Amino acid sequence: MNKKNKEPQKTIKEQLQESSRMIDSSIAFWEQQMDVVIKKMDEAEEYPDWHPEKTEEIYHKLNLDMQFILKRLQNEEREIDTLEEKTNRLLADKIFKKFKRVDGNKKKG
């Protein structure tokens, strides 16, 4: 038990699952934001060249928004890589423990 909040300590597996859910939610959020920017770009393309809404400033702002979203998604990709490494370590530990048990049983028999 964690003394500060009186909740049971999460297992490594539970922590990994929670991290996975958070990353998945974050990616879905940033993909939605990307869809909004793309929709705005498409709308801007619809304006005739003479229309006051069609300016380089709008394209510049949308481009900056897209760059920001892509940076966030790159961060999520790094988090996925980290999560994958942790998951692989957990699986390797479990496999090693099983082999150790099997090897220990052979010595006893």
> Would you say residue 2 lies in a domain?
no
pLDDT at 102: 65
Per residue in 27-46, pLDDT tens?
999 999 999 999 999 988 88
Q: What average pLDDT does range 13-24 have in this prediction?
A: 93
Q: Is the pLDDT of residue 106 over 70?
A: no
At 1 the pLDDT is 45
49: pLDDT strictly greater than 60: yes
Of 37, 44, 69, 68, residue with least CA distance to 58: 44
Structural domain tally of the chain? Answer: 1
**105 occurs within a structural domain:** no
Instruction: Supply 84's token pair.
Output: 């994958």
The C-alpha atoms of residue 50 and residue 38 are separated, in whole angstroms, by 22
Share above pLDDT 90 across residues of the chain, in percent, rounded to a whole number: 51
Instruction: Name the residue range of residue 64's domain.
Output: 12-98
> At residue 19, what is the residue type?
S
The band of 105, judged by pLDDT with boundaries at 50, 70 and 90, is low
Three-class SS state of 27: helix
DSSP 7: P
- Split at pLDDT 50, 70, 90, the class of 94 is confident
Q: Answer yes or no: is 92 within a domain.
A: yes
Q: Is residue 86 pLDDT above 80, yes or no?
A: yes
Is the residue at 41 inside a domain?
yes
Structure tokens at 50: 């003479």
